[in-house]
Amino acid sequence: MRRLIVIASALLLLTLLGIAWQEAHRVKPVALTPTLTGKVEYCLSCHGDLAQISKSHPVQTFGCVICHGGEPLALDKNLAHSTLRGGANPSDFSVVQASCGGSNCHSGTPESYSDHIQRATTSIQATYAGAIAVMRYAYGAQSGKGALFGVNAVQDSASTSGITSLGAFDPAAETNPQLQLFGQNCLTCHLSAQPMQNGGRYDHFTGCAACHTPTQSTDLTSVNTRTATSVHELTTAISYTQCDTCHNRGNYDLRTMTFIPRTDQPTDRLHDYYQPIGQFTTCEVALDCIDCHTRTEAMGDGSLYGSKYDIQYIQCQTCHGTLTQLPQTKTLTDPNDLAFRLAGLNPVVNLQLGDTILVTSKGEPLWNTKVLPDGTYELVGKATGQVFKFKPVMGSGCQQDPNDQSSASCHKCHSVQR
């Protein structure tokens, strides 16, 4: 009996020691009560070393849970992560409404310039509707090139483009084997597609983070160590290298319906920017894509489209004008002008009331430009901060064809030689 009591006492002590050891090694809780939610969360107990994601989303204001989901009070990793939205990426389009939506956040009205989710999820980059339509037309599955399907089904009852809905493209339902192959092998570069490789030059997130989370280093001479699992950053200063994760990876072989990746390994911008067959002007290679292409071209305008040519409209003349017309400009007189909002998010320029900037033919502000007193223009690179000065075509010796304002026409004289 006495022996049993001793054994029981020993077991009790061991149990208590075990509990004490566990307690001593438990994560020390670090509480945060974000201004926006007013509810305590303990995510920083483990993630206190993460960099601030952007100056627009300070952790003291937003916390973590409002975007990422998860269990705010849990200290156990598995429990805390059990209800995360989108894994490490709450901006994936499958969860973006819950993560990034809200009338004061990214699913507000066009008038408040906060309809980002509606625009992005209906954009041609998200639906891939143009490629699907062209392929189905080419292989006889539909009689015209009009968009009928997207990667996912999507509705837009307020569409101004005439397309109010797209069905979900189902490759298995196609009778032509080429279209089945297309569905299996070629739907790899819409905004919901997982990257074709993890790490390296073409790694990216999905959803909003595909563009706004820089997984690419702009230093081409080093191995890219930023990956779509390690980067915690959101930016509107998007380098061309991020666009290249989809737009410059290689080409599709439409006979075999396979993707053929680039094999060259460029170490300078001139050779990296475009594939060897491409023609481009100095400004096309010196600037980043977003220096010219506007927010609606990249993210859509909220309506469904069947081709990139229906939404992409920037031309050389947008900034340079023609022989008979100067580019369109606008003097900023309203403090609530969209130009100020956009410049505020990426302050590479210090826009002031009274400044005159270039605008597109649709009236979109090219907020990183300025008309200078001598009639020339200045553009500040949104990703690089580099200042570029340029002149209008009018009054120059340019021999442009007024009726052909495509970039190909300008390339005839202004193409960069490599």
Partner 1 sequence: MSESKLSRRDFLKLVRTALLTASGVIGLGGLLRFLSYQSQPAAPDEFDLGLASDYAPGSRTVLPQVPALLVRSETGFTAISLVCTHLGCTVESGPDGFACPCHGSRFDAKGNVIRGPAAKPLAQLRVQATPDGRLHLFVH
Binding site for partner 1 (CB under 8 A): 2-3, 5-6, 9-10, 12-13, 16-17, 19-20, 23, 31, 33-36, 40, 55-58, 60-62, 104-105, 112-114, 335-336, 340-341, 343-345
The minimum distance between CB 202 and partner 1, in angstroms, equals 32
Hey, what amino acid is at 265? Q
By beta-carbon proximity to partner 1, the closer residue of 268 and 334 is: 334
- Quote the longest CA-to-CA distance of the chain: 110
The minimum distance between CB 96 and partner 1, in angstroms, equals 18
Distances (CA, A) of 291 to 228, 237, 319, 368: 24, 9, 11, 8
Q: Within 13 Å, how many C-alpha atoms sit on residue 36's CB side?
A: 15
By beta-carbon proximity to partner 1, the closer residue of 58 and 278 is: 58
Identify the residue whose tokens are 């196609």: 174
By beta-carbon proximity to partner 1, the closer residue of 313 and 340 is: 340
What is the DSSP-derived secondary structure letter of residue 415? B
Q: Residues for the chain: how many in total?
A: 418
Hey, what amino acid is at 135? M
Q: Residue 330: which of 294, 370, 299 has the closest Cα?
A: 370
Q: SS in 3 state form for 151-214?
A: CCCEECCCCCCCCCEEEECCHHHCCCHHHHHHHHHCCCCCCCCCCCCCCCCCCCCCCCHHHHCC
Q: What CA–CA distance (Å, rounded) separates 13 from 198? A: 49
Q: What CA–CA distance (Å, rounded) separates 71 from 175? A: 46
Q: What CA–CA distance (Å, rounded) separates 202 from 246? A: 7
Identify the three-state secondary structure at position 65: helix
Q: Which two tokens stand for residue 370?
A: 């300025």
Q: Residue 334: which of 359, 350, 346, 352 has the closest Cα?
A: 352
Pairing status of strand 369-371 against strand 377-380: antiparallel
Q: Are 394 and 364 in contact (CB under 8 A)?
A: no
By beta-carbon proximity to partner 1, the closer residue of 43 and 304 is: 43
Q: Within 13 Å, how many C-alpha atoms sit on residue 357's CB side?
A: 25
What is the DSSP-derived secondary structure letter of residue 110? T
Specify which residues 365 forms β-bridges with: 359
